[in-house]
C-alpha cells in the first residue's frame, strides 16, 4: 500500500482556497492508496468555531467524496464540524466508494481552549482499507499513549495535527514512541505556516514499526511525501518479536 502525506500551509477560514490547493497537491502525486491532510485542513485550527466550522455535510466533505472516487483512493483529514448545536474536531476517512468513517477528537487541547467550545469524542475508531487496519487520531491525542494502545486491532496510526513550532520536538519524539511501543506504522501529518495564534514548521513523517523514518517532508515548506506500507513485513516482525502479547 502507498500512502502520501500532504504537509500544507492553510489559509485561515478559507475552505475553497484550501480545498483547491489540496486538490492540486493530490494531483501532483498520483498512484497512492491513501492521501492524508492535516488537522482542520480546510480552515486552520480554530478554538472559536462560530462562523468557521462547517456543517456535517459541507462542501469539504462532498469534495472528499468526489476526489476519492475520481482517484480511486482514500482521503483523510480533520475538519471543524457543527452539528445539532455542538462543535466537533472530526477526522474523516473517505473511501473511493463514497463511504465515510469519522473519529471525533477525544483529547481536546485545553491549553489552547479547544475544550471550551468543542465536544470531545468518546469512541476509539479503527478503519480497514485495502488490507490495512488504521487507527485515527488527532494532534493532542498523541500525548496520551493509553488511548493509542495497540490491542492487536490495527497496523498503522494516522495522526493529523496543527502542532506549533515551539513544541515540535515533542511531536517528533512521540511519533517514534507510538510506532515502537505499538509495533506499527505511524503517519504524522502536520501543517506549516501561520494562523492568528501560532506558527507551524511541519515535521510530517511516515515511520516504520522499528521507529525509523521512511519518508519526511521538508520543514517549513508545503510539500508531499509518499511511502510504502508493507503489511507482510509488519506481520513477520510481530510474529518474530511478539511484544504486543506482553502488553499491560
Active site residues: 39, 105, 139
H/E element, 200: strand 199-201
Q: How far apart are CA 229 and CA 213, in angstroms?
A: 12
Pick from 159, 166, 218, 222: nearest CA to 197: 166
From residue 204, alpha-carbon distances to 15, 80, 95, 220 in Å are 22, 21, 22, 10
Helix axis angle, 15-27 to 59-71, nearest 10°: 10
Give the number of other Cβ atoms within 10 Å of residue 183's Cβ: 19
Residue 124: all three cell numbers together: 476509539
Q: Are 167 and 175 in contact (CB under 8 A)?
A: no
Residue 101: all three cell numbers together: 468513517
Q: How far apart are CA 46 and CA 237, in angstroms?
A: 40
Pick from 141, 180, 184, 132: nearest CA to 159: 141
Q: Are 56 and 65 in contact (CB under 8 A)?
A: no
- Please list the residues that pair with 134 across neighbouring strands: 127, 156
Amino acid at each position: 500500500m502507498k500512502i502520501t502525506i500532504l504537509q500544507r500551509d492553510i489559509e485561515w477560514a478559507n475552505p475553497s482556497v484550501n480545498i483547491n490547493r489540496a486538490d492540486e497537491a493530490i494531483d501532483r502525486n498520483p498512484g497512492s492508496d491513501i492521501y492524508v491532510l492535516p488537522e482542520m485542513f480546510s480552515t486552520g485550527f480554530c478554538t472559536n468555531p462560530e462562523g468557521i466550522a462547517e456543517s456535517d455535510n459541507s462542501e469539504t466533505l462532498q469534495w472528499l467524496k468526489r476526489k476519492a472516487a475520481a482517484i480511486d483512493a482514500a482521503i483523510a483529514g480533520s475538519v471543524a464540524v457543527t452539528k445539532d448545536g455542538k462543535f466537533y474536531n472530526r477526522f474523516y476517512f473517505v473511501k473511493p466508494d463514497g463511504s465515510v468513517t469519522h473519529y471525533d477528537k477525544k483529547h481536546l487541547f485545553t491549553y489552547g481552549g479547544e475544550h471550551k467550545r468543542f465536544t470531545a469524542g468518546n469512541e476509539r475508531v479503527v478503519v480497514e482499507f485495502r488490507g490495512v487496519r488504521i487507527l485515527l487520531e488527532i494532534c493532542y491525542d498523541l500525548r496520551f499513549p493509553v488511548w493509542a494502545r495497540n490491542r492487536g486491532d490495527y497496523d498503522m496510526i494516522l495522526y493529523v495535527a496543527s502542532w506549533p513550532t515551539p513544541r515540535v520536538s515533542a511531536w517528533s519524539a512521540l511519533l517514534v514512541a507510538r510506532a515502537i511501543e505499538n509495533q506499527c506504522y505511524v503517519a504524522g501529518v502536520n501543517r506549516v505556516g501561520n494562523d492568528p495564534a501560532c506558527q507551524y514548521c511541519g515535521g510530517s513523517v511516515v515511520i516504520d514499526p522499528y521507529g525509523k523514518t521512511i519518508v519526511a517532508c521538508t520543514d517549513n515548506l508545503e510539500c508531499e511525501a509518499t511511502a510504502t506500507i508493507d503489511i507482510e513485513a509488519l506481520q513477520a516482525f510481530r510474529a518474530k518479536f511478539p511484544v504486543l502479547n506482553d502488553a499491560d
